[in-house]
Amino acid sequence: MSIHIVALGNEGDAFHQDHRPSGLIRTYLGRSPLVSGDESSLLLNAASAVARPVFTEYQASAFGNVKLVVHDCPVWDIFDSDWYTSRNLIGGADIIVIKYNVNDKFSFHEVKDNYIPVIKRALNSVPVIIAAVGTRQNEELPCTCPLCTSDRGSCVSTTEGIQLAKELGATYLELHSLDDFYIGKYFGGVLEYFMIQALNQKTSEKMKKRKMTNSFHGIRPPQLEQPEKMPVLKAEASHYNSDLNNLLFCCQCVDVVFYHPDVKDIVEAHKIVLCAVSHVFMLLFNVKSPTDIQDASIIKTTQDLFAINRDAVFPGASQESSSNPPLRVIVKDALFCSCLSDILRFIYSGAFQWEELEEDVRRKLKDSGDVSNVIEKVQCILKTPGKINCLRNCKTYQARKPLWFYNTSLKFFLNKPMLADVVFEIQGTTVPAHRAILVARCEVMAAMFNGNYMEAKSVLIPVYGVSKETFLSFLEYLYTDSCCPAGIFQAMCLLICAEMYQVSRLQHICELFIITQLQSMPSRELASMNLDIVDLLKKAKFHHSDCLSTWLLHFIATNYLIFSQKPEFQDLSVEERSFVEKHRWPSNMYLKQLAEYRKYIHSRKCRCLVM
């Protein structure tokens, strides 16, 4: 590999030609540590023309093994006498150096007006260096006399040099002398930078030519395109908080009422929700005994605030035909009872917004002492056994368990007879549950328990078409807003149960679980697994799981080579088979190209260009 440099112009002083030192190019080649070659080998050709060489050719080695060819043309007559040679020199150059003496203004303007336009037309994205050599005469004299002014007029100013560099898109250098600093570090540094750039460009072009040559000598392996992007399944936002909060306002499945003899209004509530929040209500409704709680302050709060009314007649309530009337609880504190509706709204919201509760209580109770007394009682009701009761602890507990914590506390009552008011019969076994939670979380069950159906008046309700394990997972979601199926088959069974009871968010959770499980399987496991993916697709379609069925079709198409070898692949419908063939990966075109390439490789008995 070689680098061709063309140097144009005379950097010597026109008035002192006999005493000028060696030229810029020869000085650089003789001093640069990156250029190797002795004095006799540098000068190969010097053609004389009227005591001036037309051009001098130097050859040396740079960077160890790179051939460096330099044509130094000190006179511009070559552009007039031999235009063909000069054009070839400029056209074949990797770097062009234009040099002039700063004290020869006449020659500078002659070159600028006559020869620079010619060079500009011949340039083809070649880096150009403009070197202004010498120290300007009287440059440092502040005198303004006519003699000094005339001296300055004979020098080429820096502004003129920079303007010339802008016209050519060149790099402008001022070399006040040809010493080691200006030649080796300044001029040499810039020149060597452009030499490295030229080497990089030639190497890149050589690699491109080699690739093009290889492409002509053999068939390139086919490019495997990326498979189509799988459909994105968006999860449905949880409405667990609002479901339980709405339970308070709909007044369905009420099993406890609070009242005070001196307060006109009564307050309805649900034992299961209150017990999920407070140990005071667990003690009041006999879910736990004083021995289980072992906290004297909770026991005292229960005894001081509430008492169960066992009388048959309920003050202020109409006679109901229900065989199981709600439990009647007397609130001993009239002020607390007057604010109980706000307190229950605060509890059912699950957010524990203490500031809002204080504002609601303050609207009803003008006295600040009464407000503090009611808030203190609420803190006592929500107290955790064994911990100090204060508002700060309550707020800390709220920050640690934000928004809603029934999803963990309600799990305590899952599949347990405590406070249960309905029993499901499944596969010969029974599963106790709580109507309030079922009504709040499932619209189908809300209609079933509150409509003119047999289930509305029956305690024992049979369930068909669902296994006990699947139904328990379904109840777990209703109670806790989460579920964790054991596998893809269990998730599909749970999805069918969710579709039966119209719980759309649980359907989406099951869809996401199935998709995540299938995506995480390596190809070897997909090929060996016993799960019938086509049967899974048909079940998803039958139970209106459109997102899952669309995703499964793309999944079969993306893993075409695996699933097309399985016998259940033949069970796809004509429409499904057409979709899979259209979106299959890898495509038929790629497989044909791959077969042709393999045939070519074996016929030529040559190596693969890639491997």
pLDDT at 402 over 60: no
Most confident option among 91-100, 138-147, 315-324, 558-567: 558-567
Q: Helices 188-217 and 24-31 sit at what angle, rounded to 10 degrees?
A: 80
User: Residue 236 above 60 pLDDT?
Assistant: yes
Distance separating alpha carbons of residues 339 and 352, to the nearest angstrom: 16
Q: What is the reported pLDDT for 313?
A: 52
316-331 average pLDDT score: 68
399 vs 12: which has the higher pLDDT: 12
Residues 6 or more apart in contact with residue 169 via CB below 8 angstroms: 128
User: What is the mean pLDDT of the segment spanning 373-390?
Assistant: 81
65 phi, psi to nearest 5 deg: -130, 15
Residue 540 CA to residue 365 CA, distance in Å, equals 57
Q: Answer yes or no: is pLDDT of 12 > 80.
A: no
pLDDT at 53: 52
Tell me: pLDDT of 48 over 80. no
Q: What is the pLDDT of residues 561-584, one digit of tens each?
A: 999 999 999 999 999 999 999 999
Range with the poorest average pLDDT among 164-178, 224-238, 301-315:
301-315
Query: Is 404's pLDDT higher than 70?
Result: no
* Listed range (210-214, 466-470, 531-535) with the worst mean pLDDT: 210-214
Any residues with CB less than 8 A from the CB of 192 and at least 6 apart, and which?
32, 34
Give the mean model confidence (pLDDT) for residues 299-307. Answer: 94
**pLDDT score of 50:** 36
- Please give the C-alpha separations between residue 187 and each of 22, 81, 225, in angstroms, as whole numbers: 15, 30, 51
The gap between the terminal CA atoms of the chain, to the nearest Å, is 29
Residue 14 scores a pLDDT above 80: no
pLDDT (tens digit per residue) in 203-231:
888 887 776 655 545 567 888 888 888 88
User: Of 102-116, 501-515, 537-551, which gets the smallest average pLDDT?
Assistant: 102-116
pLDDT at 73: 86
What per-residue confidence (pLDDT) applies to 201?
87
Across residues 37-51, what is the average pLDDT? 43
Mean pLDDT of the chain: 83
Q: Measuring CA to CA, which residue among 510, 494, 493 is closest to residue 547?
A: 510
| pLDDT tens-digit series, residues 182-210 | 888 888 888 888 888 888 888 888 887 77
pLDDT above 70: percentage of residues in the chain: 83
Structure tokens at 68: 């460096």
Alpha-carbon radius of gyration of the chain: 47
Quote the pLDDT of residue 400.
43
Across residues 237-263, what is the average pLDDT? 89
Please report the pLDDT score of residue 20 as a whole number: 44
DSSP string, 262-293: T-S--EEE-HHHHHHH-HHHHHHTTSS-HHHH
Q: What is the pLDDT of residue 60?
A: 85
Take residue 551 and report the two structure tokens written for it: 């995703």
> Tens digits of per-residue pLDDT, 105-119?
888 888 888 888 888
Among candidates 253, 433, 219, 230, which has minimal Cα distance to 326? 253
Q: What is the pLDDT of residue 257?
A: 95
Residue that the structure tokens 């393999």 belong to: 598
Percent of the chain residues past pLDDT 90, beyond the cut: 39
Q: Give per-residue pLDDT as tens, 67-79.
A: 888 888 888 877 7
What pLDDT is stored for residue 54 in this prediction?
67
Mean pLDDT computed over 174-181:
85
Q: How far apart are CA 415 and CA 480, in angstroms?
A: 13
- CA–CA dist 435, 432 (Å, integer): 10
Q: What is the average per-residue pLDDT within 439-446?
A: 94
pLDDT band at 51 (very low <50, low <70, confident <90, very high): very low
Answer whether residue 8 shows pLDDT above 60.
yes
pLDDT in tens, 143-170: 555 545 444 567 898 999 999 989 888 9
User: Mean pLDDT, to the nearest integer, of 450-461?
Assistant: 86
95-104, 315-324, 525-534, 596-605: least confident range: 315-324
| Highest averaged pLDDT of the listed ranges 166-175, 190-199, 420-429 | 420-429
Q: How far is CA 155 from CA 133, 152, 168, 287, in A?
A: 11, 5, 21, 108
